[in-house]
């Protein structure tokens, strides 16, 4: 056996399966971007005090495979997040989001991004172009950065946030509490919205540990003047506990599933056909 064989031992069946899955996901994303088969699915984030009225929406990236199936981000994002395809996905999400904001003046919309896209020139060009095109877009745009991504590049993220907040853009810290928290960095950020990770929310009404943690995270958000959002809310019992705990907003299937045909698009189509 050669030295190179020792340096690169044969992969296990599981490693082969994971590598093959990622390869297929990467190719699927590459084809979708090439043939303009990417879109956003919109999910409402509602006010706890008035759940019938969305405070804003989140635009979640979706791609269409060659058979016409709509593929959610969870099926491909891990495979592309660390390479340029991940940056291209961020570009497409932002581009569609900014176009949607320009078309729907009453809309406030959150778009996901990776901190790695801050230094990606095409992404910055899409952002600058969208902000210049419509002067109202900045104050209606929310950029969501995951806790994991923000904490990897804290200095870069803080500088970027300060620059954009001067233009009216808001920022949400996504998946907060997922396991990467560094309070040493957190106190230096100025996020507008704190989104509490779903692992604390699922069946919270019967989990004392999650109840304690969620109340603490809500209190932390309030201390730093951030709106708090509970993610993945799916039952009335979860809603009742969260409202009692003082949450500001909620997001989840209980209030609405992500859809590529939101009400403003259906209304527009109805006017055109009417």
The whole-angstrom separation of Cα 32 and Cα 38 is: 6
Tell which residue, 251, 208, 260, has the closest CA to residue 44.
251
Beta bridge partners of 61: 40
- The predicted model scores a pTM of 0.90
Out of 8-12, 71-75, 181-185, give the one with best mean pLDDT.
Answer: 71-75
102 burial level (CB within 10 Å; 0-12, 13-18, 19+): middle
* CA triple 77-259-273, angle to 5 deg: 135
Q: What is the mean pLDDT of residues 17-25?
A: 74
- pLDDT, residue 10, reads 54
With 60 as the cut, is the pLDDT of residue 134 above it?
yes
Is there a contact between 36 and 244 (Cβ–Cβ < 8 Å)?
no
With 80 as the cut, is the pLDDT of residue 14 above it?
no
| In a domain? residue 92 | yes
| In a domain? residue 184 | yes
| In a domain? residue 2 | no
- pLDDT, residue 273, reads 64
Is there a contact between 39 and 20 (Cβ–Cβ < 8 Å)?
no
pLDDT digit string, tens, across residues 199-247: 999 999 999 999 999 999 999 999 999 999 999 999 999 999 999 999 9
pLDDT digit string, tens, across residues 55-87: 999 999 999 998 999 999 999 998 898 899 999
The whole-angstrom separation of Cα 182 and Cα 202 is: 23
Dihedral angle, C-alpha 213, 214, 219, 223, nearest 10 °? 90
Q: For the chain, report the end-to-end CA distance as a whole number of angstroms.
A: 75
With 60 as the cut, is the pLDDT of residue 3 above it?
no
- pLDDT, residue 25, reads 87
256: phi > 0 → left, psi -120 to 50 → alpha, else beta; which? left
Residue 120 sits in a domain of what CATH number?
Answer: 3.20.20.450
| In a domain? residue 4 | no
Residue 75: DSSP 8-state: G
The whole-angstrom separation of Cα 46 and Cα 233 is: 11
| In a domain? residue 135 | yes
What confidence category does residue 182 fall into, taking pLDDT thresholds of 50, 70 and 90? low
The whole-angstrom separation of Cα 45 and Cα 108 is: 10
| In a domain? residue 156 | yes
What confidence category does residue 185 fall into, taking pLDDT thresholds of 50, 70 and 90? low
- Which is higher by pLDDT, 151 or 156? 156
- Which is higher by pLDDT, 197 or 14? 197
Contacts of 155 (CB under 8 A, 6+ apart): none
| In a domain? residue 255 | yes
Tell which residue, 145, 186, 187, 178, has the closest CA to residue 164.
145
Q: What is the mean pLDDT of residues 98-108?
A: 96
Q: What is the mean pLDDT of residues 35-59?
A: 96
CB neighbourhood size of 64 (10 A): 18
The whole-angstrom separation of Cα 80 and Cα 155 is: 24
With 90 as the cut, is the pLDDT of residue 22 above it?
no
| In a domain? residue 1 | no
The percentage of the chain sitting over the pLDDT mark of 70, rounded to a whole number, equals: 88
Is there a contact between 150 and 157 (Cβ–Cβ < 8 Å)?
yes
pLDDT digit string, tens, across residues 140-155: 999 999 888 888 888 8
Domain residues for 170?
A: 10-273
- pLDDT, residue 23, reads 85
pLDDT digit string, tens, across residues 242-273: 999 999 999 999 999 999 999 898 876 666 66
- pLDDT, residue 178, reads 76
Is there a contact between 172 and 130 (Cβ–Cβ < 8 Å)?
no
The total number of structural domains that make up the chain: 1
The rounded mean pLDDT for the chain is 89
């Amino acid at each position: 056996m050669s030295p190179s064989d020792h340096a690169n031992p044969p992969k296990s069946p599981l490693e082969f399966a994971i590598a093959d899955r990622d390869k297929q996901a990467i190719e699927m994303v590459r084809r979708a971007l090439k043939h303009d088969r990417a879109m956003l699915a919109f999910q409402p984030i509602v006010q706890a005090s008035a759940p019938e009225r969305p405070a804003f929406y989140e635009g979640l990236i979706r791609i269409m495979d060659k058979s016409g199936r709509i593929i959610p981000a969870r099926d491909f994002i891990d495979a592309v997040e660390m390479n340029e395809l991940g940056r291209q996905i961020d570009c497409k999400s932002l581009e569609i989001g900014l176009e949607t904001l320009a078309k729907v003046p009453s809309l406030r919309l959150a778009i996901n991004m990776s901190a790695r896209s801050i230094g990606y020139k095409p992404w910055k060009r899409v952002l600058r172009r969208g902000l210049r095109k419509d002067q109202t877009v900045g104050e209606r745009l929310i950029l969501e950065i995951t806790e994991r991504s923000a904490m990897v590049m804290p200095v870069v993220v803080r500088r970027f946030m300060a620059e954009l907040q001067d233009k009216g853009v808001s920022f949400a810290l996504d998946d907060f509490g997922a396991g990467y928290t560094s309070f040493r960095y957190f106190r230096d950020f100025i996020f507008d919205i704190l989104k509490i990770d779903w692992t604390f929310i699922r069946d919270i009404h019967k989990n004392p540990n999650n109840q304690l943690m969620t109340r603490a995270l809500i209190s932390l958000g309030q201390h730093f003047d951030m709106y708090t959002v509970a993610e993945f809310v799916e039952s009335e019992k979860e809603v009742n506990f969260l409202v009692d705990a003082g949450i500001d907003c909620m997001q989840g299937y209980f209030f609405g599933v992500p859809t590529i045909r939101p009400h403003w698009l259906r209304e527009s189509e109805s006017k055109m056909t009417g």
